[in-house]
Amino acid sequence: MEFAAYNPATGGFDTIPVTPGSEMPAGSSAAAPALSTAAALPLATSRLRPSNAQTPGTTMTDPAAQSVETRIPSSAVRPPSASANLASENLGAKSSSPRSSDSPPSPAPSANHPINDGDERDDEQDWEDSDVEDGIPKSKPGISTWHEHNPDRPVIPLQKRRKQNADTRATAKKRHEANKKVDMSFQEDIDWINTERNKMAEEVAEKHKVKVDVVLHHLMAKSSFKASRKVNLFNAKVHHLAKHVRKMGQNCSFSELKRQVLEDPEFQNLMQAEEAALRAKLLEDHSMTSLTERTGMAGFAFFSKGHVHNTMVPTEVESWDALTFFRDILHLEPRDVGAQFELWAVARDKVDASRKKKIAMNYMSYRKAIVLGAGCILKGYLFEGEPVNLNSINDVESIRKLCNALKSGECFWYQLSQQEKELERLEYEHLIEEGEIQERTRKTRSNKNKPHKKDDKPLSMRSKDTGAKSRWVSGKLPPGMRRPGPPGIRAMESDLERMMDPDAGNDEEDSD
């Protein structure tokens, strides 16, 4: 078995015969101590480019004119990095290069021609795609790839472009020249047709007394640019039927769906608006289905009518089954969420006009308590004047009209802005000054601005007193006392308690 060892003194490789199971001869080279184990490898048989082969952009040199340092005396050579790779493959040793295991095996040199170690190999790969590493696309910032999500799944490697050698480039050049001749001949025929067409257009224009441009316009009325292919109506019908069948919990084959579309009278003689809606739904589903695969993001959207007079129904779109979020996390059905969203969208500015959760209707002081106090006003009221209590309306038909107006949104609560509220306040004060409105005030207390008596304490403050009363209020009975019965029995028990315990009455008086 022969090995090629790199000699730093001569800049080349020396051939060393070695038998299996024996060590390398010590005197096989003048620079044997400087030889590295990674540079010793079996002789390979693949062919490399000879040194006298001309590379693009270089000039031919005579091998005899080269110096000893630039020529390699050995008939089998390989650069040190490639030698390490081949040595690790044949000898089973690990390469010291960090990328030796990632790079593909390099072809071995030929023993027929001496070559320059600076020359490139013909089959060296050219890594032109910077976004691909080891046949797997790299992930971009913020977006992860499918391979990163599924590292245990196999991935089909991408095709890597390679540099063309001289023979391939020569063949491509000949093919390009041949195609160029064919294109020139074709263009000459097209020019001849255009010339003859212009002559014929001039003759027709002179015959019919019109301009040449008019003839050419009618002649070229059909444009060579065609519209893009639209969504097929039949596919849109099948898609709509398939979604309906899946919602019902059934499963039909594609042939069965096509048969139902052809036989179902509902899909026959559709209006133009209905056909456009089916096409739009199919196009929308196609764009949303692959949204996660194209962008790496998942989402959903709800759409509803914005006015009570609109007739559209609530719809929702999703990507990557995102609507299951409502069932799994919020424990709600997406259809119920869409209905609530529709209710909010229709009555958007007509409900929840005030942030206060509990406001009692005040018909007697409507302007002061509701309009100025809460900042809300009832718009669209059917009757003259301010709103009145429904009990004072004796006409059933009037109550029905008011109820229908509230349901349809014609009559609604409106939240006033600060400017509108200020205008309402000024108008209210002006009406009071003119005497058109009498401000209703509460009756003042007789002992206002006077010291209150003990008995005037609120009930909440009385429960804080200590003594027997606090025990009664808190529900705790004195020692030896039973739960109070009827008033007569309760008074009798209290008298008996005072007779048995004279201090109890003193404590009660002290507590008062």
pLDDT for the residue 242: 92
> In a 10 Å sphere around its CB, with 0-12 CB exposed, 13-18 middle and 19+ buried, how is residue 329 labelled?
exposed
Q: What is the pLDDT of residues 148-173, one digit of tens each?
A: 888 888 888 777 778 889 999 999 99
Cα torsion 153, 156, 161, 164: sign = positive
Of 421 and 6, the structure prediction assigns the larger pLDDT to: 421
On average, the pLDDT of the chain sits at: 72
How large is the average pLDDT for residues 183-196? Answer: 94
Q: What is the pLDDT of residues 273-283, one digit of tens each?
A: 999 999 998 98
Of 254 and 23, the structure prediction assigns the larger pLDDT to: 254
74 pLDDT tier (thresholds 50, 70, 90): very low
How large is the average pLDDT for residues 294-307? Answer: 88
Residue 137, both tokens: 């696309």
Which among 112-121, 318-327, 434-443 has the top mean pLDDT? 318-327
> CB within 8 A of 309, min separation 6: which ones?
none
192 pLDDT tier (thresholds 50, 70, 90): very high
pLDDT for the residue 286: 83
Specify the range with the lowest mean pLDDT, choosing from 386-390, 480-484, 508-512. 508-512
Q: What is the pLDDT of residues 251-264, one digit of tens each?
A: 889 999 999 999 99
**Residue whose C-alpha is closest to residue 387's, from 402, 408, 409, 407:** 402
Q: Compute φ and ψ for 2, nearest 5 degrees.
A: -110, 145
pLDDT for the residue 140: 64
Asked if 145 and 139 count as a contact pair (C-beta separation under 8 A), the reply is yes
pLDDT for the residue 44: 42
pLDDT for the residue 364: 85
d(CA 49, CA 122): 7
pLDDT for the residue 30: 41
pLDDT for the residue 246: 84
Specify the range with the lowest mean pLDDT, choosing from 105-119, 166-180, 291-305. 105-119
Q: Tell me the percentage of the chain whose pLDDT exceeds 70.
A: 57
pLDDT for the residue 275: 93
pLDDT for the residue 272: 92
Of 36 and 455, the structure prediction assigns the larger pLDDT to: 455
228 pLDDT tier (thresholds 50, 70, 90): low
139 pLDDT tier (thresholds 50, 70, 90): low
pLDDT for the residue 200: 94
How large is the average pLDDT for residues 172-186? Answer: 95
Q: Is the pLDDT assigned to residue 305 strictly greater than 70?
A: yes
Cα torsion 42, 48, 53, 58: sign = negative
Asked if 35 and 44 count as a contact pair (C-beta separation under 8 A), the reply is no
pLDDT for the residue 227: 64
Residue 271, both tokens: 């209006």
Q: Compute φ and ψ for 185, nearest 5 degrees.
A: -65, -40
Which among 104-118, 354-368, 475-489 has the top mean pLDDT? 354-368
